[in-house]
Amino acid sequence: MSGKWLELLKEIAPSVRQVLAINHSETVTGAGYLRALEGAGSATGVKLIAAQVRDAAEIEQAIATMARQSNGGLIMLPSALAQVNREMITKVTAQHRLPAVYPFRYFVATGGLMSYGVDTVDVFLRSASYIDRVLKGEKPAALAVQQPTKFELTINLKTAKALGLTVPPTLLARADEVIE
């Protein structure tokens, strides 16, 4: 997933040479995302700057610091902290004119540039069948672990225009949703 975020960011903003990856320090999965981003960054010549944050103020400070760099971009790693502060994050990122990729569609709905992530509706619908099976007597330990199978790409054209970005037609064609 991390490599895909970086690939999409480079596709919509080819001038990006360094990327700030913001991770909530208490989110366990962040380390895996960051390792994958470092590998993808090395392969594409993009410098990764990881910011471990604990609260909204640290998120805002990390974005402001990145904005002082040239050719920067942002990847917001998934966390409860990011979800709760999504409006502030997209607002501050837009104010600093940073192209950004987010893990969920609702960031784009609040003004973010682009998201690529798990289709949460699909995940919830599939989990309902597991709950049904458990309620009918199957042992949870006997059920196979399911991986997400459906992912969605959302692009906000208004935000792209405000950032002076031209969205490549090939990227638009792959988008599941385009917000105008």
The residue ranges of every structural domain in the chain are 2-118+151-179, 119-149
- Provide the whole-model pTM: 0.88
Rounded to an integer, what distance in angstroms lies between the CA atom of residue 70 and that of residue 29?
Answer: 29
Distance, CA of 91 to chain centre: 15
- pLDDT attached to residue 176: 95
- Size (the chain), residues: 180
Give the list of residues 6+ apart from residue 29 with CB closer than 8 angstroms, or none: 77, 78
What pLDDT digit, counting tens, does each position of 156-179 carry?
999 999 999 999 999 999 999 999
Rounded to an integer, what distance in angstroms lies between the CA atom of residue 88 and that of residue 8?
Answer: 23
- pLDDT attached to residue 6: 92
pLDDT band, very low/low/confident/very high, at 143 (cuts 50, 70, 90): confident
In the numeric block, which tokens belong to residue 153?
Answer: 């790409």
Rounded to an integer, what distance in angstroms lies between the CA atom of residue 42 and that of residue 38?
Answer: 6
Q: State the amino acid at position 170 in one-letter form.
A: T
Mean pLDDT of 2-6: 91
Asked if residues 69 and 99 have their Cβ atoms less than 8 Å apart, the reply is: no
Cβ-count burial 153-170 (b if 16+ within 10 Å, e if not)? bbbbeebbeebebebeee
- pLDDT attached to residue 90: 97
HSE-up (13 A, CA, CB side) for residue 72? 21
Q: Kindly tell me the burial class for residue 74, based on how many C-beta atoms sit within 10 Å of its own C-beta (0-12, 13-18, 19 or more).
A: buried
Rounded to an integer, what distance in angstroms lies between the CA atom of residue 66 and that of residue 7?
Answer: 19
Return the SS3 of 69.
coil
Cα dihedral: 180, 113, 54, 6 (round 10): 150
* CATH architecture under which domain 2-118+151-179 falls: 3-Layer(aba) Sandwich (3.40)
What pLDDT digit, counting tens, does each position of 79-137 carry?
999 999 999 999 999 999 999 999 999 999 999 999 999 888 888 888 888 888 899 99
Distance, CA of 90 to chain centre: 11
Please check the confidence at residue 147 and state whether its pLDDT lies above 90. no
